[in-house]
Structure 1
Amino acid sequence: MKNADPIWDHVDRHRAEFVDLSDRVFDTPETLYKEVRSVAEHTRMLQAQGFKVTENAAGIPTAVVGEAGDEGPVIAILGEFDALPYLSQAPGVAEHSPLEEGGNGHGCGHNLLGAAALLAATAVKDWLAENGIKGRVRYYGCPAEEGGAAKTYMVREGLFDDVDAAISWHPATFTGVNEARSLANTRIDFTFHGKAAHAAGAPELGRSALDAVELMNVGVNYLREHMPDNARVHYAYLDSGGVAPNVVQAKATVRQLVRAGSLPELNDLIARVRNIAEGAALMTETKVTSQVFSGVSNLLGNRPLEETMQGELEKLGPVPFDSEDAAFARDIQATLTDADIDTTFKRIGAKPQKGLVLCDFIAPLDRQSDGGEGSTDVGDVSWAVPTVQARVATCAIGTPFHTWQTVAQGKAPAAHKGMVYAAKVMAATACRLVEQDSLIDAAKQTHEDQLDHTPYKCPIPDDVRPPI
């Protein structure tokens, strides 16, 4: 690494304890809004590092905020620590080997995400104090990114109202500034209420809620032809009406996950899905009620912040992987398809490099990516304040996230190196913002211009509370 930055030393000084934090969270994987042990680990670390701690942030028991510094700009660094269900996997093993059948696993690397974010915040805290610089760094320990939209609730409750800029990252198969491309989405539970009857003796007396759910899904299937290209609708049965086929199902619930490229497009699509639900109820002579479970906005980019972070990435150079890291990555790649591996390169608009197992370059800021888009509740933070994120290589090229292969690499030395690297990028970006008022001013002006064109409207209704 060239052009050494003093903030890197602050990160390296705390490396061991935060790698250990990441591994502890990995070992106790907890899903959305159940991250009791994980948030406890982050809270203890915040207290040990001397942060002023706010627990139960936004009324969410598994959300925590830590702040350090005095006066000056407020820089938020966002962390996560939730896992995914059914992804239990032994670390360091390049074959499917669950630790617990049906158990949870960190299939999106959030054990690394939260630990690196808190490491970056700690480094910035030390840097501010050492240099007597006015500024505040605030760590947000956010639960339930995987479908629970905790950050959306935190934004709605005003937790970012005084923040000047927000910084985050995500584990990845490549290293570069995250493109501000994501889908706004909402999860809505539609419950149909019918009338039970004997399915053979008197079926004409029944009104099937399950029929209504199935007709709704048929209607949504026909809607797919008439949606924008990047819009998506997925569904899951939450209640199919019971296990007795000789009873006409009196109640059934389906969760519809509706995604679109922007908040206005999402709202239009939601209205059409709701009309389909009403039509299904009309056809089956049932009644339908609905409940929003969660919602997130699409990401807003911020060019001044992205250029600043790109500069810090280039100053650092690639993540310093070694031959042992490459050997394990090669074993992981052997479990993947060529299409899996090619997808990594498509996502950054690069030509596939045969034989490359770990990312050894920095992706350009202006790249022509080609790949699917997901959703994140960081989107709502980006509507509240200027926001920037990094993607940092922590695993083999081609690794599909939300799979056992991601979990298998979650405690590997390569993952730890990527995690510490991400902390340096975020901390250095935060330092540049504190040092240069003009950067924050430019980021805020860009943000204001975006909201002038499309004002923010929270995708979760005011009366909906976090599903704790």
Structure 2
Amino acid sequence: MNSIKDVTQYVSDVIERKRDLFTAASDKVWSFAETRFNEFQSAELLIQVLESEGFSIQRGVAGLETGFIASYGSGSPVIALLGEYDALADLSQEAGISTFSPVQPRGNGHGCGHNLLGVGALAAAVAVKDYLSAHPDTKGTVRFYGCPAEESGYGKTYLAREGYFKDADAALSWHPYSMNAVMHGSSNAVIHGTFTFKGISAHAAAAPHLGRSALDAVELMNIGANYMREHMPDQARVHYAITNTGGFAPNVVQAEAEVTYLVRAPKSAEVHSLFERLIKIAQGASLMTETEMNYKYEGACANLIPNSTLEKVLYQNLVALGVPAYDEDEYAFAKAIFESLPEQNKQEAKTLVGAELAARLTERPLPNFIAPYSDEREVFLGGSTDVADVSWNVPTAQCSTATMAFGTPLHTWQTVAQGKTTYAHKGMLLAAKAMAATAIESILNPEIVKEAQREFKERLGEEEYDCLVPADVHPPKQGA
């Protein structure tokens, strides 16, 4: 089995035989819709599937209650497959409906498709395991990393900080999207911190001079952060949410208030510097209001390091597999989802792909092609991902496959609505096959891993991984 066609056919057959197992697992994770560090049902389901497939399980890795590593095989190379399964708050939505219809008001929903992401990576791991089992003379290890809290908390950062990728030779991941492509790019590093102010309550009319308003401190901090925006790198981002306003009575001076911030910048050193400036702004707000201020790290992740060597192999396998066929019912629902999008989202999506392709995808919003790959320049992603921390420790490549209609923005109810569709399942399994084939090729051809690692060292140069989460910060214990 030396040709791409042989490998892709093998993994395709394995994954198609177990299609029902994988799609059912993805749909269950969709229904659990558990958020950061609280993905107990989702993690347990994936563990059960992996145990039934012959993997050994290491639970509670890096202090993560919902994190785990499933392993099969022996020796090198060690191929890591990264799985996520956390949902987002306030994105509850019925499946298969093209109008906004929450299952539960203010409930959670898989608005980034991580139900598909986690099970897709799991399916890839199972296919590699089946290959190793069928070829006992082949040395190699496949690992599925169960990674919680990608959206907020960044589980992979803790795994990377504690050295769980140091003996891996390559890492593969993917993300649900509206296009089939292999990503070559970088991303913003991020630090997430929460700031709590404590003041003195008082009667706001009878004795306002006796009060010290924590809410005033939050508002002053936000004003200071807004002034900082003018004096930071162009691609940096600062955004916040007030998580505690101190109550609902305007005639009581608010004794406690809280605000949580995400600070992003293209490099880890830049985001660290910006966060230090934000701390000073909070201290200033505290001084102005005579309140006490405390802050805590909620999580952080680095900027992404691409790897052309692995990406090219992943792309070749994606092309060899080809895109799924869609029926008219699938096109019709995707069209209904596209029509539900705000007009500005439609226009932006059209602008990104050009007039000719936009016209085609507007009418039939499921792409029947794979976007060309190029590593001539890095595409910059304004968002952040804890896959980045893995990429600082081991050569890493990612792909995306179409699991949602053209133009669908992530973190929206439309993404949740499509999370159990047949075309979402098709995209998930396509990603699984591409990653599995790439992993098997890397095991069979040591020069792939050798070249990926050479490129990895060249890209880092003199830089070393410096985890943005301080050593004394640990994942929360939700199950305690």
| TM-score, normalization by structure 2 | 0.93
Q: Assess if the C-alpha contact under 8 Å between 2:53 and 2:126 holds in 1.
A: yes
Which residue of the partner structure matches residue 92 of structure 2?
88
Instruction: Determine which of 121, 126, 140 is the counterpart of 2:125.
Output: 121
Q: Which residue of 2 aligns with 1:418?
A: 427
Deviation at 1:369, TM superposition (A): 8.9
What SS does the corresponding residue of 1:5 show, helix, strand or coil? helix
Match of 1:19 in 2: 23
Residues 229 and 346 of structure 1: is their aligned pair in 2 closer, same or farther, counting only changes over 3 Å? farther
For 2:358, what is the secondary structure of its paired residue?
coil
In the alignment, which residue of structure 2 is the partner of 1:154? Answer: 159
Q: 2:458 aligns with which of 449, 465, 468?
A: 449
Show the counterpart of 2:189: 184
Contact 1:345 1:351 in 2 (8 A): no
Match 2:366 to one of 351, 354, 358:
358
Instruction: Provide the secondary structure at the position in 2 that maps to 1:399.
Output: coil
1:167 aligns with 2:176: no
Greater mean alpha carbon deviation, residues 110-119 or residues 345-354: 345-354
Q: Distance in 2 between matches of 1:370 and 1:386?
A: 18
Deviation per CA, 1:220-241: give whole Å up to 9, x if none. Answer: 1111112211111111112222
* Alignment pair present for 1:304 and 2:312: no
- Alpha carbons of 1:390 and 1:344: their partners in 2 closer, same or farther (altered >3 Å)? farther
CA contact (8 A) 1:346 1:371 kept: no
1:256 deviation in Å? 1.4
From the superposition, tell whether residues 2 and 331 of structure 1 become closer, same or farther in structure 2 (CA, over 3 Å): farther
Q: Is the 8 A contact 1:94 1:332 kept in 2?
A: yes
Structure 1: 5+ residue runs without aligned partners?
Answer: none
- Kept in 2: contact 1:82–1:110 (CA 8 A): yes
- In 2, Cα distance between equivalents of 1:305 and 1:248: 58
Answering whether residue 418 of structure 2 is matched by residue 409 of structure 1, we say yes
Unmatched 5+ stretches in structure 2:
none
> How many residues of Structure 1 are paired with residues of Structure 2 in the alignment?
468
Q: Decide whether the 8 Å contact of 1:433 with 1:440 is kept in 2.
A: yes
Per the TM alignment, residue 201 of structure 1 is displaced from its structure 2 partner at its CA by 2.3
SS at match of 1:334: helix
Structure 1 residue 152, shift from structure 2 partner: 0.6
Letter in 1 for 2:315: Q
Verify the 8 A CA contact 2:93 2:413 in the aligned structure 1. yes
Please list the CA deviations of residues 127-148 of structure 1 after superposition, one character each: whole Å capped at 9, or x if unmatched. Answer: 1121221000000111111112
Aligned Cα root-mean-square deviation (Å): 2.0
Q: Deviations over 1:104-142 (max 9, x none)?
A: 111111111111110100000111121221000000111
**Which position in structure 1 is the counterpart of 2:106?**
102
**Could you tell me how far apart the structure 2 residues matched to 1:447 and 1:337 are?**
41
Q: Distance in 2 between matches of 1:337 and 1:200?
A: 45
Asked whether the 8 Å contact 2:187–2:380 carries over to 1, the reply is no
Which stretch shows the higher mean deviation, 373-382 or 360-369?
A: 360-369
Q: Which residue of 2 aligns with 1:256?
A: 261
Code of the residue aligned with 2:54 in structure 1: it is G
Corresponding position: 1:69 with 2:78: no
C-alpha separation in 1, matches of 2:356 and 2:298: 40
Q: Residues 371, 396 of structure 1: CA spacing in aligned structure 2 closer, same or farther, 3 A cutoff?
A: farther
Deviations 1:239-259 (A, max 9, x none): 222223223223222111111
- The aligned amino acid for 1:411 is K
Residues 349 and 159 of structure 1, relative CA distance in 2, 3 Å threshold: farther
Check conservation: 1:32, 1:82, Cα contact below 8 A.
yes
Match of 1:399 in 2: 408
The aligned runs of 1:124-135 (5 Å cut-off) are 124-132=128-136, 133-135=138-140
Q: TM (normalized to structure 1)?
A: 0.95
Q: Does 1:209 align with 2:214?
A: yes
1-structure distance, mates of 2:104, 2:191: 31
* 1:387 matches 2:396: yes
The residue type paired with residue 202 of structure 1 is A
Give 1:14's aligned amino acid.
Answer: K
- Asked whether 1:268 is paired with 2:273, we answer yes
- Write the distance in 2 (CA, Å) between the matches of 1:19 and 1:162: 31
Q: Which amino acid aligns with 2:15?
A: V
